[in-house]
Amino acid sequence: MTVKIIVGAQWGDEGKGKITDILAEKVNLVVRYQGGNNAGHTVVVGDKTFKLHLIPSGVLYKSVTCVIANGVVIDPEVMFQELSTLREKGVEITPDQLKISSLAHVILPFHRMLDSKQESDRGSNKIGTTGRGIGPCYTDKIGRVGVRVVDLLNKERLARLIRQREWDQVLGTAVNLDEVIESYVAFGQRIKPYVVDSSLFINEAINSGKHVILEGSQGTMLDIDHGTYPFVTTSNPVSGGACSGAGIGPHKINHVIGVAKAYVTRVGEGPFPTELNDETGEKLRHRGAEFGTTTNRPRRCGWLDLVGLRYAVRVNGFTEICLTKLDVLDDCDSIKVCTAYRLANGSIVTEFPLDYDEFTNCEPIYEELLGWKVDISQITDYDQLPPTAKHYAAFISERVGVPITMISVGSRRHQTIHLLEV
Ligand code: GDP
Ligand code: IMO
Ligand code: MG
């Protein structure tokens, strides 16, 4: 029995989908524990590209059961659309292969409307959300006025929960409650065969010796507690969120795998010390195809930030790191790595500043390493990497104090270097 948590180490889009898919080959269960369809996890197999939003990234193996656990927020319309897109691509998913928590909260059309209303009300302080209703749905969950999957199976309760929220007042516009109630009752009937007590299901699997991956979405810097608040999402992507989001005890966890890009990207607003608003940033965006999987927005790009990565190691307790997209740096003559920040008052810090103004106004201090200037995208053996690429990986590992167990050099499964068995 092994239980591994996969967590984004930066601001999301680190390549969690690819890493989960690779590790899923050897496991029985892949569980999504938080977030919703704000996530976009890409898995490339052969000539097919799968963009997964709610369905766990283990779905391409018949031998894997996928679980959407209690910590996730589910938009049923999006989920059924995703299942039908998968079907069109030859992946048919039965209720045997997909289990959905009865306790997961449900995104209503009103949550989506409120998400965009709140963003426009914020004006120049907007967060740049994905507009999927994620924030308003989690807000209702914490406010104890949310709708859960179990409620979709009980028409009276569902109608009462939806009506009591007084959506026309919240949204400042008339809404058709009856229509939404009817359509969500219908979703309830479709979702019913998939619904389980997911904590019980996952714990029984672990206790019977099964291998489990808990797949996080977003990333550490988007965490509601530990991220760059208020420019964050509304859940806990960090490893601690996996236990509450899946209903398992921390002593069951064997590995906490941080997925870190060899540089950094961010979608949406908020501070980003190593951001490159120049030709180099443009080159990273172009070479890394850095456009959002969910919203297609151009991702902001910058150099690797080891202050942030060390912080991610700490708050997640990473036991190892998978370093992704190293091939994107193939073209660079030299590569900068941020190892400290200079604050506005002139002091130099190596721990992540928690004060929002300090972080927003800090300046990155870089060390510069040599590039390798060769195509590494077909290398599968660590020893074959150019010495400067090995040095880059070793430098990162040494500075953050955890081993790198995998290096990804392309979006396909075979474009992966395994350093140590995870
Ligand atoms: P996730 O949200 O963390 O799963 O990441 P995304 O799927 O949103 O974004 C990662 C993008 O990079 C996807 O288009 C992947 O196919 C791609 N990708 C993953 N690993 C690598 C890699 O090592 N090299 C390159 N060039 N692309 C990669
Ligand atoms: P994956 O799982 C990158 C960002 C949004 C916005 C902020 C809040 O693919 O890594 P939300 O809609 O969650 O309220 O938006 O979080 N964001 C992501 N950025 N990858 C993601 O998911 C993201 N999910 C949300 O851009 O800045
Ligand atoms: Mg993504």
Residue 222 and residue 286 in one domain: no
At 157, the pLDDT band (50, 70, 90 cuts) reads: very high
Q: Which of 13, 18, 218, 295 to mutate to test the pocket of ligand 1 (most atoms within 8 A of CB)?
A: 18
Burial class (CB in 10 A: 0-12, 13-18, 19+), 345: exposed
Q: Is the dihedral of CA 70, 72, 73, 76 positive or negative?
A: negative
Strands 73-74 and 105-106: parallel
Q: How far is the CA of 13 from the centre of ligand 1 (A)?
A: 7
Nearest in space to 415 (alpha carbons), one of 64, 4, 39, 45: 45
Residue 420: per-residue pLDDT: 77
Give CA–CA dist 264/83, Å, rounded.
Answer: 31
Domain that holds residue 272: 256-418
Active site residue 13: yes
Residue 71 and residue 210 in one domain: yes
Residue for token pair 């961010």: 266
Residue 282 and residue 385 in one domain: yes
Q: Give CA torsion, residues 378, 381, 383, 385, to 10 deg.
A: 20
Q: How far is the CA of 255 from the centre of ligand 3 (A)?
A: 22
Residues with CB under 5 A from ligand 3 (ion): 13, 40, 293
Over residues 288-314, the mean pLDDT reads 94
Atom of ligand 2 nearest to the CA of 269: 27
How many other β-carbons are positioned within 10 Å of the β-carbon of residue 16?
28
Residue 293: per-residue pLDDT: 78
Among 13, 115, 305, 327, the active-site one is 13
Residue 406 and residue 281 in one domain: yes
Over residues 148-154, the mean pLDDT reads 98
Atom of ligand 2 nearest to the CA of 12: 10
Examine the pLDDT at 48 and tell me if it is beyond 90.
yes
Contact 303, 274 (CB under 8 A): yes
Residue 295: per-residue pLDDT: 82
Over residues 62-67, the mean pLDDT reads 98
CATH number for 21: 3.40.440.10
Nearest CA to ligand 1 atom 12: 15
Nearest CA to ligand 1 atom 10: 15
Nearest in space to 281 (alpha carbons), one of 220, 226, 336, 227: 336
Over residues 223-249, the mean pLDDT reads 98
Over residues 145-150, the mean pLDDT reads 98
SS3 content of the chain, % helix, strand, coil (to 5): 35, 20, 40
Active site residue 41: yes
Residue 201 and residue 74 in one domain: yes
Nearest CA to ligand 1 atom 6: 13
CATH number for 182: 1.10.300.10
Residue 81 and residue 114 in one domain: no
Examine the pLDDT at 373 and tell me if it is beyond 80.
yes
Over residues 268-285, the mean pLDDT reads 97
Residue 322: per-residue pLDDT: 98
Atom of ligand 2 nearest to the CA of 40: 9
pTM of the model: 0.97
Examine the pLDDT at 368 and tell me if it is beyond 90.
yes
Q: What percentage of the chain carries pLDDT values higher than 90? A: 98
At 128, the pLDDT band (50, 70, 90 cuts) reads: very high
**What does the pLDDT look like over 197-208, one tens digit per residue?**
999 999 999 999
Residue 115 and residue 93 in one domain: no
Among 21, 41, 53, 115, the active-site one is 41
Residue 212 and residue 73 in one domain: yes
Residue 17 and residue 114 in one domain: no
Residue 264 and residue 121 in one domain: no
Examine the pLDDT at 113 and tell me if it is beyond 90.
yes
Examine the pLDDT at 296 and tell me if it is beyond 90.
no
Nearest CA to ligand 2 atom 21: 218
Q: How far is the CA of 39 from the centre of ligand 1 (A)?
A: 13
Residue 372 and residue 273 in one domain: yes
At 422, the pLDDT band (50, 70, 90 cuts) reads: low
Report the chain's mean pLDDT, rounded to a whole number: 97
Total domain count, the chain: 3
Atom of ligand 1 nearest to the CA of 14: 3
Pocket of ligand 2 (CB under 6 A): 8, 11-13, 38-41, 127-130, 132, 134-135, 217-219, 222, 233-234, 267-268, 293
Residue 94 and residue 157 in one domain: no
H helix and E strand count, the chain: 13, 20
